[in-house]
Amino acid sequence: MPIVFSVGKFYFYASQTGHSHNIKMKKQLIILASILCFLCHTSLFAQAHIGISEIEIENLYPGKTFNSGTTNSRQYYIYAVMPLGTFYYYFDNTGVTTSCVQIPNSVTDLNSQVDIYNGKYVTTSKTSWTAYLDGGGSMYIRLFYSDDFKFYYFTYRNAQ
């Protein structure tokens, strides 16, 4: 008889073949599920990278190609395609990131992130969250989208 483990929206199946084997498998599946949740949670925190330099961001992703540009108001930015979408990092005149914009790859990715944000952060409206980060900082996250979902993106900035 199969055993089903549920972690969030993920279901893990294990076949029951023996008592000691089941206990070992349960422990392994719980560890695996915990690692997956941690990685997903960490990547959402980490990819906003507010308050660090361009070199520090690039060093976090060796082998990743970053492109750069300037806005109409001459604000410098870099961007790269990541697993969760395309991330744009905007810098002030001292070379430190002041904000980040993420365009998710799909509506499915968008909905997954909203579910995670609703569970992990303080919801300030149906389209905004405040994340209280390790080390005492906080980050404000806002979702923008059109009613027909022709566009959707998240913005991240320091909450102070």
In contact, 1 and 17? CB cutoff 8 Å? no
- Name the average pLDDT for the chain: 78
pLDDT for residue 22: 54
Task: Measure the CA–CA gap between 64 and 66, rounded to whole angstroms.
Answer: 6
By the 8 A CB rule, do 79 and 66 touch? yes
pLDDT tens, 38-87? 333 334 434 578 999 999 999 999 999 999 999 999 999 999 998 889 99
Q: Can you tell me the distance from the alpha carbon of 16 to that of 157, in angstroms, rounded to the nearest whole number?
A: 48
Task: Tell me the pLDDT tens digit for each residue of 94-113.
Answer: 999 999 999 999 999 999 99
Matching residue, tokens 């992130």: 113
Compute the distance between CA of residue 116 and CA of residue 46 in angstroms, rounded to an integer.
14
- Report which of residues 78 and 23 the model is more confident about: 78
- Pick from 107, 108, 127: nearest CA to 117: 127
**What does pTM read for this prediction?**
0.68
Q: Is the model more confident about 11 or about 112?
A: 112
